Structure 1
């Protein structure tokens, strides 16, 4: 991106010699500068009314956490929850939620030891430091929301403690795999106080942490590992998190290899484990490309968080495309529409969600794909909260010459550019529609650039401004709208959505259009289970979900001209668009029943095709993110 702060490799050594962190290309806006609107605001409200906004009222691992002097879990779960609950509370400007967040933060700060240790467990030598890294990230987020003056001192004292002790107690376990997460609070602190010991501590942590770049140079996971064989290196969440490790470290080292490392890593993950929804499988370790293998919810939200950093640091537009693909498909599909229950693992072809003695998953248990409070394990219950709020915070960012529309969702921003108040409002029903209406307002005339990300899936994007229609020629995935802005300026951006029939393994195919993946809508019956387990009272119950309509179909589509075979129909974008009943767009296509068996609650990876019905049936496809049960990868009868 020529006009933005693109990476100038020749200048890196000078920056490092001066003990300066290299600048990310884009800077995220603060929580106070972004206001969600439209369907995005409704989605955040749904989340606040569901598990995210209520866990502290009934779930022991939050309500009675050791972090606040209780007896329940005192490691990662409370920090995980706060990591999403804090931005959710401030984006909604919900005073009750804010006060509850402040209670937890105040308790944690008030109980930090004089030597800097901040976690509940005093046994530093016996404790995995992952939760230590995580709570410092949370404090940075809290400062962004509140500008609490205590936070800088708290983080500095905690990192000094780490610096004094890490020489004799090296990283291990989760902290060894996730060392780079500590760079986030370290870089935040360094930019404020410029003390050299922070960079030296970062070098120690990097030296002690797992070398992900070397692993990916000699990639050993080209196929799923054998069942029940678990490892940190093939762990799906670790692999989702580590994608940002190289670019984060680049800010200190200037290494081009580190800056660009995620490109190669994602290519490998896509090639051997990638799904049409933008994520890769892992249930709980990397599981291959079969549509019946699962992807853990924690991996979904952590992949999104890594992409948000990649957009900021590298400026590569395709990371925005990927972030939207995951946010609009994999993220909503792993929750019930009311967000009171969630899955541990979601499947691309998911015909049933039931307890199984012999589950298909590589290392996860038999309840991993049911909808419930904490199926399989409670980490996702705590960590699920960050997905939508952090996505909302990534809609717009700042460049050195203006603003960047990084991902698209309805929102408004209010910020300052060159000491001038600037607001941008985006009214849109995207991703369910192709039209985005912008209004830019400035208090006085000022010149700046508004960089618009142009998705790679469209080749016909155009702009309507000043009474003219302009065809867009994107440069490296962005279109620069630079002008002198004065008063109020409105314009419309359109992304005509193209139908794509994506080949998948074993002669299966998936239907996509724009950023959305489409799946066969399957009728469903929800059956409450685990009623005798404490904490499973309504509305946070556990459920199995069973199909009540057929799912064993192949689609009749002209692959070369799919628009002749598939008819799309738009419906109102209501209060709960990510639901089977509320799908704002549906697709109709003809299909035939086929021989496709199931075993242990899942469809076989691909159909036997021993028989094919002669009768065509009109089938309904809806966005993947609107489904609870679905068939996404299916065979196609190529009909001209």
Structure 2
């Protein structure tokens, strides 16, 4: 029996018209740089090493979801391609390469070799080979992303990978032609665009002639036809403006409002624009991004969906998979559309929401994080309307669905690999994310360029960039929207105010060595939140009250003692209202210039904001979560000063505060 969604599809006309009408792909505004050309340095390299030394870098050794096989034989290897192996492979390919971890690189190489060498004669990749199990397309898509990354890094793999992908494309096209829903179940119907992006990589880099190009575009069109109409999902007409648990879904497929599907679905319309050439696709993609954060956004940069869209309340949850997928989608949106709002948002997510839902040593992760989180423990009653798992905000190996255990490691590596792009003519290098990086590329006309960015950002305001180039060119660096009074000094000259155009500061670079220093100060800003509460920001960082906590070990993995489920409980008061007029920022950079490791843990970032506060009557809605912040509260305790620290370093926190109506 087909779902109501597919019954609806059968009654609709073909969306794009006769297959094969499009003949070319529209260009992107910026081009990505192959894996391995961009490296993290400084504290960011350390952060990636923390991830590598934590759960992400070791789960293949002990975690049953991905460690059932060594990928040298047996059908259990194929079972990993359903979701676990594909997710793991997609994340660990760039992770292993960026830190040059030989053990991880050997494992991903073995995974790739096994899957490709066991491709079915029909072209199928996956666990259904040799079985009667239905063939569903989606599970292969993250694997394809990983294979593309490996090919970018090691061009010797090109022939094998491209040949295998084309064999699969031919089969998939035949399946889609034979019946619009062959190979398509609910997850494939929502995530079809990931396959489209793979097809576009083949078209851009390995087109193999007119017939192959026509096949690729025809398959793109058919995938769009079989899938969720994202131009409708992200339209104002259908987009939900509140938590959706009591809202009928007009698409007869609840997964359209599933948080992770939406995070991935943000890529759909910029991907389809490349073959539809419809400006409306880009306009709606940009609008959908804005609607998500307007009606479901979080001060930590992300949006709420505790399975499905969850509105603005501070106790509703955000899934870890959603965090990393939104980061990846934001990078893709910028490369196609060119609006710097995507970059500002991704940077906020990376430096707040991502580390905020992992322990500092990155051995334990949550399924759902909260803005106001007063405990992380078994929730016999929880505020997550669509997620009944009581362990959802425990920090652990698998506190709920296992997807986030294997998928979360893509966050930092893909943030790093998308931190630089080039202009479409390949004549200019563009730094789009700020942090400590190095890169080495060859631009047009054989212009070899290296860039080294030394900085503590976002834990400092100064970035020193040293460029070495064979020829003169124009370098661009993003100036975030929150910067006020920023300056740039080139080759020791007097500092001048930055003057970005569409978010990018141009720097004229001569042949040889060029060095420039950016000062990017930012004021403390206040964000209005529900119930008259506020959130506090400075620059890319969101600030929270780090609730002192106790820790209890709930479980320890029998094969890896570092993998533990942890309960955190508050050991001090957290029911504070604040006087925003008294907010004061302080920075204490380390004399050594080296930040503590791991930086995203309690008390370690060298930044703080102090504020006058007092205790107020603030109810507990259930034993493990707070009620909404009280509106216009009165003090019930003495005046005091509390310290706010970067959200990403807190694990229990208050980050949406009630406001005192009478100044302290």
Q: TM-score range by the shorter chain?
A: over 0.9
The residue that corresponds to 2:5 in the other structure is: none
Do the aligned residues in 2 keep the contact of 1:59 with 1:535 (CA within 8 Å)?
Answer: no
Do the aligned residues in 2 keep the contact of 1:596 with 1:608 (CA within 8 Å)?
Answer: no
Q: Does residue 108 of the first structure (1) align with residue 108 of the second (2)?
A: no
Q: Does residue 282 of the first structure (1) align with residue 305 of the second (2)?
A: yes
* Aligned CA-pair RMSD: 2.0
Q: Distance in 1 between matches of 2:44 and 2:589?
A: 17
The residue that corresponds to 2:380 in the other structure is: 357
The residue that corresponds to 1:187 in the other structure is: 200
The residue that corresponds to 2:10 in the other structure is: none
The residue that corresponds to 1:139 in the other structure is: 147
Q: Does residue 119 of the first structure (1) align with residue 132 of the second (2)?
A: no
Q: Which has the larger displacement, 512-521 or 358-367? A: 358-367
In structure 2, relative to structure 1, the CA distance for the partners of 1:18 and 1:232 (3 Å cut) is closer
The residue that corresponds to 1:410 in the other structure is: 436
Alignment of 1:13-412 (within 5 A): 19-64=23-68, 69=74, 71=76, 74-122=81-129, 126-147=134-155, 148-149=157-158, 150-169=160-179, 170=181, 171-191=184-204, 192-193=206-207, 194=209, 195=212, 196-217=214-235, 218-226=237-245, 231-364=254-387, 365-399=389-423, 400=425, 401-412=427-438
Structure 1 length-normalised TM: 0.92
In structure 2, relative to structure 1, the CA distance for the partners of 1:66 and 1:233 (3 Å cut) is farther
Do the aligned residues in 2 keep the contact of 1:228 with 1:363 (CA within 8 Å)?
Answer: no
Deviation, 1:172, is: 2.3
Do the aligned residues in 1 keep the contact of 2:583 with 2:609 (CA within 8 Å)?
Answer: no
SS in 2 for 1:214: helix
Q: Which has the larger displacement, 468-477 or 294-303? A: 468-477
In structure 2, relative to structure 1, the CA distance for the partners of 1:62 and 1:70 (3 Å cut) is farther
* Structure 2: tracts of 5 or more residues without a match: 1-19
Do the aligned residues in 2 keep the contact of 1:292 with 1:348 (CA within 8 Å)?
Answer: yes
The residue that corresponds to 1:584 in the other structure is: 606
Do the aligned residues in 1 keep the contact of 2:310 with 2:316 (CA within 8 Å)?
Answer: yes
Deviation, 1:607, is: 2.6
Deviation, 1:57, is: 0.3
The residue that corresponds to 2:16 in the other structure is: none
Q: Deviations over 1:314-369 (max 9, x none)?
A: 11111111110100000001100001010000001011001122211122211100
In structure 2, relative to structure 1, the CA distance for the partners of 1:332 and 1:83 (3 Å cut) is same
Do the aligned residues in 2 keep the contact of 1:373 with 1:536 (CA within 8 Å)?
Answer: no
* Structure 1: tracts of 5 or more residues without a match: 1-15, 559-563
Q: Deviations over 1:485-505 (max 9, x none)?
A: 221111101111110011111
Q: Distance in 1 between matches of 2:290 and 2:604?
A: 34
Q: Distance in 1 between matches of 2:657 and 2:464?
A: 36
Q: Deviations over 1:268-327 (max 9, x none)?
A: 112211111121100010011000000000000000010110121111111111110100
Deviation, 1:476, is: 1.5
SS in 1 for 2:256: coil
The residue that corresponds to 1:434 in the other structure is: 461
Structure 2 length-normalised TM: 0.89
The residue that corresponds to 1:11 in the other structure is: none
SS in 2 for 1:589: strand
Count of residues in correspondence between the two structures: 615
Q: Distance in 1 between matches of 2:22 and 2:294?
A: 41
SS in 2 for 1:27: coil
The residue that corresponds to 2:574 in the other structure is: 551
Deviation, 1:428, is: 0.5
Q: Distance in 1 between matches of 2:659 and 2:628?
A: 15
Deviation, 1:56, is: 0.9
Q: Distance in 2 between matches of 1:501 and 1:182?
A: 41
Do the aligned residues in 1 keep the contact of 2:86 with 2:140 (CA within 8 Å)?
Answer: no
Deviation, 1:261, is: 2.1
